[in-house]
Structure 1
Amino acid sequence: ELIASALSPGGIEAAAALASVPTLIRGYGHVRQASAEKAAGERSRLVERLVKATERPELQAAE
């Protein structure tokens, strides 16, 4: 749902990057665990970026 709401010029790059996060998880055992932790951090960073890209500034009334 978050990715779908970001399909605008400001959010498309962040949405694509977020969708590719699972490809960062590779390996077995402790190697996989380390890459999963790194991917989780990247996911958090990208979600924040995506939320900021989809926020709309409040409309202000003209005075």
Structure 2
Amino acid sequence: RALALAREDIANRRIVAVAGGKVKVRAIKSVLEGRYLKGLITDERTARSLVEQTPVG
């Protein structure tokens, strides 16, 4: 299920997303970089893909 919210609506809420799968990695990464989420529930393979794509520093 997809949900679209305005940034103002997201800023004042505690949002936890449930997402996973290779095709979702890019979208999940964008949402995480935007700091829109307070939490993410995902599978191990997706989590590893996100960590491997994120530069440390």
TM-score w.r.t. structure 2 length? 0.30
- With structure 1 as the length reference, what TM-score do the two structures score? 0.28
Higher gyration radius (CA):
1
Higher strand share: 2
